[in-house]
Structure 1
Amino acid sequence: MPCAGRGAGRRGCFRKGKDLVDRRRFLAGVGAACAVPFAGAPLLAATASGTVLTATDVHVKDYPTVEAVRWIGQTLERETGGRLRIRQYHSGQLGRESEAIDMARYGAIDMTRVYSGALNNAFPLTQSLCLPYVFDSVAHMRRAMDEGVGDTVLRGFEHRDLVGLAIYDSGARCFYNARRAIVTPADLHGLKIRVPASDIFIRMLRLFGANPTPLSLGEVFSGMETHMIDGAENNMRSFHSSRHFEAARYWSQSNHSYAPDVLLISKRSLAALTAADRELMIATARQSVAVMRALWDRSDSAARKAVVDHGVHTNEVDLESFKHASRPLLQEYLRKPELDTLYRRIRDLA
């Protein structure tokens, strides 16, 4: 029986019975793998009928990134006659993004889709994607990723036991809250706003005058209900799929970040495949970007209509005031030569 109740879709869940047992067994195996990081084989499972890779995502089952990875699995299964498959755990069933990153590094899971902001501290090149107002639009972000910037960032994962497969959209990140419309940074003063666990986002919110509160995505709704936080910042698709619009009635189109998502695979898991299967995996993952983008464009428009129909108040902001307030943060990070180089490449494609 599927999970029921208001929180089921937001926090993710397993069905009772066999699925619950499977989850416990899986997490027990994950714990053993992470306890001895470099001993034994990765979780990638070889069975009599072929190889099954495990993929995780904190988003719900119909989210574009989840559907794109599902498409990868279907393509691999078709191209290999069922010999290579992907088993997905969506809706945060196996934990937070920070946990998924470590599990993939240690080979306890094979693949994961994570937000680039969650990668900033361990993988510095991803900081270039999360700087405030580095991208002007979704089209600009896609152009930069397609014309070399994405490949440079993806190569930066290999020194820490991961391989970057693809970069997916994450839309325009904007502010939403339960208190008031945000037009200038002054309107954020005193508000407790959830941010991802990224130094860039924490410091950016402080420059805007807000009180940044790092929380996992699954804690945001209850945080707003209990008034632990006043709001958050995210893209419209996540605002809708997480049902945060039920608690936050104000959406302000700040567009302060277009930081994308990254699809990663354990270096050990990829190495365990045959050369032909590795090539197929990498090529299929790259092809999935177009699939994801088409899904994103349709679902983003539908999500916006749904939240407006629900009664959420939307407004434009004074973009120049936000850009001005975030400038000290941008200048500080651009003192790093590698980030300055990537920033200039991105801006040249604006």
Structure 2
Amino acid sequence: MKLNRRTALTGAAAGVALFSIGRPAAAQATRMRFAHPHPTSDSWQTAALQFADRIKEDTGGEYEVQVFPNGALGSDQQTISAVRGGSIDFCITGNPFFTGLAPVLNVLDLPFLFQSRAHVATVMDGEIGDGMRAELEASNLRALATWDIGWRNLTNSRRAVATPDDIRGLKLRTTPNPAHIKAFELLGAVPTPMAFTELFTALETGTVDGQENPVTLILNARFYEVQRHLSLTRHAFTTAPFCMNNDKFAEYPAAMQEILLAAGRDMAVAQRQMNEDAEATSLAELKSAGMEVVEEPDRDAFAAIVTEAVEQEFVAQFGSDLLDQIKGAAG
């Protein structure tokens, strides 16, 4: 998605002029590295490449972003650590991998919290989202925007899941987020946190019985090759902070900061739309690939078991104000 050039290039042109002063015309571009764990077929890769194009264009070619997908530069936690340390410039991964640094972000992964994609956008693109992104600055991360992973659904290799009883005893890969872990413990599963880059092999070897992710990522990561059953539980919506090193961000002139922020925000909107557009076609492809799909599991029964109990743990630690603001933003 392109910026409106009549408005966006005002700041961008100032940035280009600022960085070009005194620089030889043939000077080599400054290269920046962008790492993420998703496959090249995923919307993160498409949006990352578009972000790279924007930065090159809006800086007159003085900055070039190299994109490294599929965990090429490390696991979720490794890339976050590398961005904090400054050896990688940008990273994106799911919100659950940031909650160890900013535990209040755990609120975003509470089960059945978001009512719609519009609800997610209202929260993440407004003052609530600004406040949560700012929580990462103490860990030397500047969240330029919030992209998404999407509605989480359950897959496994053992049986169809239509009711909470069907989950009992399944060993499921989860994120390290406390809300995810607690919810599956309440349902009688055996939650097993691990990096996304390790997941396909764990499913293939039977280290875990199943996992939970959006249908777009289940398709793009080819989990259908090692999972038979898909249940559209939509038990949580996962957002994804798009971050860079905060010290590096602070060192840039205001014009360059605005270029980075504008590109990050625009790509967030574009990437979310890519995911939404791909949901229906991804589900159809998963069915064609042989997955057996429970399209209407008893979501109310799942919610009755996990929602209040997991929210109470969050409120006991952080109070209810932020949770109430997010719920109130549903309209």
Superposition TM-score tier, normalisation by shorter sequence: 0.7 to 0.9
231, 241, 252: which one pairs with 2:210? Answer: 231
Out of 302, 305, 328, the residue aligned to residue 348 of structure 1 is 328
1:1-350 map, 5 Å: 48-315=27-294, 316-326=296-306, 327-337=308-318, 340-350=320-330
Identity %: 27
Shift of 1:223: 1.7
Does the residue aligned with 1:169 lie in a helix, a strand or coil? strand
In the alignment, the residues of structure 1 paired with residue 41 and residue 220 of structure 2 have an alpha-carbon distance, to the nearest angstrom, of: 9
Following superposition, the deviation at residue 120 of structure 1 comes to 1.2
Distance in structure 2 (CA, Å) of the matches to 1:347 and 1:272: 37
1:24 corresponds to: none
Alpha-carbon displacement from aligned partner over 1:177-230 (angstroms, at most 9, x marks no partner): 011111122111111111112222112111111011112222222222222111
C-alpha distance in structure 1 between counterparts of 2:51 and 2:198, whole Å: 29
* 3-state SS in 1 of match to 2:316: coil
Shift of 1:306: 0.8
Aligned equivalents of 1:49, 1:142: Cα separation in 2: 38
Contact in 2 for aligned 1:178/1:250 (Cα 8 Å):
yes
* Residues in 2 aligned to 1:166 and 1:199: alpha-carbon distance in whole angstroms: 23
Distance apart, 1:173 and its partner CA = 0.3
- SS state at 1:122 partner: coil
Counterpart AA for 2:219: H
Number of positions where the alignment pairs a residue of Structure 1 with one of Structure 2: 303
Structure 2 unaligned residues grouped into runs of 5+ = 1-25
Question: Counterpart of 1:81 in 2: which secondary structure?
Answer: coil
> How far does the alpha carbon of each residue in 1:3-24 deviate from its partner, in whole angstroms, 9 at most, with x for none?
xxxxxxxxxxxxxxxxxxxxxx
Contact kept in structure 2, 1:170 and 1:259, CA below 8 Å: yes
Q: Secondary structure at the match of 2:150?
A: coil
Provide closer, same or farther for how the CA distance between residues 51 and 275 of structure 1 changes in structure 2, counting only shifts above 3 A: farther
Residues 316-336 of structure 1: CA deviation (Å, up to 9, x unaligned): 211121111112121111123
How far apart are 1:93 and its partner, in Å? 0.2
Distance (whole Å) between structure 2 residues aligned to residue 329 and residue 125 of structure 1: 14
**What's the TM-score, normalizing by structure 2?**
0.87
Moved over 4 A (4+): none
Report which structure shows greater RCO (CA 8 Å, sep ≥6): 2
Q: Deviations over 1:48-87 (max 9, x none)?
A: 3222111100011232122212212111111221012211
Residues 34 and 66, structure 2, Cα contact 8 Å, conserved in 1 = yes
CA distance in 1 between counterparts of 2:248 and 2:211 reads: 35
